[in-house]
Amino acid sequence: MKKALKIISYVLSLLVLFTVGFVGIRYFKEIRTLSSLKLIEGTDLYTMEFFSDYHFDDFLKTGAGNNNEYYDYVNKIMEQSLKIAVDNSTPENACSAFTFKGTDGDRYLARNFDYAVNPVMLLVTSPEDAYKSISTVNMNRLGFNNERTPKTVDIKLFGAPYFPTDGVNEKGISASVLQVNFSRKQKDENKSTIGVYAVVRLILDYADSIDKAVELIDDYNIYFDSAFMSHIFVADSQGNSALIEFVNGETYVIKNEKNYQIASNFNNTEEVFDDDGYVYTEEYRKWLTDSKTSAYDSEYSCYVRYDFMLDSLYNSSGIMTADDAFKLLENVASPSKLQYSVVYNLSDLQATVITDNDWDKRTTVALSGIE
């Protein structure tokens, strides 16, 4: 009897080892991805490297006509069975972004994501048939918040590549999305439809130039959530940049004419600029003259932030240090809803991030690995 029990125990042990080994081999990349999740101590910032296939090329074949369809696809990217409780609310944001030349000669893109204070992720992706990239992910899109934080066993994390708000790829091409007043792209029944998060991923995965980014965008219809109309800010490591906007069904590409370019939460296509590049609509001009209301309590916050950034960049001829850039971001940030600030080095392919309004605690992630 004892001998029989030993044999049974031995066989069961072998079965367990075989099962664990099979699962480990079958899901090695997935396990490696989840295991790479790290929380930067004292912050709301996570880092993760994505080693498994996120099937974005498959998504592009059919696309998604609205947020529900997009989230449905993300829910199924792992064994067709995931259910990701995505928070679909979109509070008003107050983002600011600018490009500049570093005093070290490198090219940069900096931006604030003034949205809602939630966990943030710096994500490194290495797809087999696309470009490697670093992107910043708003983890609220995956259903995470300050009470519901991610863990290394959380399968929702496999949806992270689908929600980049900005990033830079191995070709030095950066893309970021900022909310504006209105956006509408002409619809072509022969093209697939995608949303703005997918547009950022599309550029990061496949663009090797700004012209290529524009070409890629032209290959798709773009749907805009009524609460998240947006334009796309792109830049490269050679000092070129462009705002891509969608007004009255037409696509407008507004390229930089100076050593820098600025983006805020309004459509440049429709705005009035003076000879020095400052924004002066009649309504804004009147508000500047008459109002005693602070910028962040007014509907003209986006113009005030734009003009403040322009002052700094104009006076420095668009040349500054990364420290200067963070100081400028701090000056135009909304402290009550700053989710993160990031400075991308498009030459060295690095992203440096702060969260929690802690401007001295910076985390840098490079394509070559996490520092």
**Cβ(90)–Cβ(17) under 8 Å?**
no
What is the CATH superfamily name and number for domain 36-370? Penicillin V Acylase; Chain A (3.60.60.10)
Q: What is the pTM of this model?
A: 0.89
**Cβ(341)–Cβ(113) under 8 Å?**
yes
Q: What is the pLDDT of residue 197?
A: 95
Structure tokens at 280: 């002066």
pLDDT along the chain (371 residues), means of 10: 52 39 57 92 92 92 91 73 51 83 98 88 94 94 86 87 96 96 86 95 98 97 81 97 93 95 94 92 87 71 94 97 97 88 97 93 85 55
CA distance 136 to 122: 5
Q: What is the pLDDT of residue 295?
A: 63
Q: What is the pLDDT of residue 292?
A: 65
Q: What is the pLDDT of residue 255?
A: 96
Q: What is the pLDDT of residue 22?
A: 37
- Residue 231: which of 219, 214, 212 has the closest Cα? 214
Q: What is the pLDDT of residue 240?
A: 98
CA distance 204 to 201: 5
350, β-bridge pairs:
345, 366
CA distance 53 to 77: 9
> What would you measure as the largest C-alpha separation in the chain, in angstroms?
96
How buried is 98 (Cβ within 10 angstroms: 0-12 exposed, 13-18 middle, 19+ buried)? buried
Q: What is the pLDDT of residue 334?
A: 85
Q: What is the pLDDT of residue 325?
A: 98
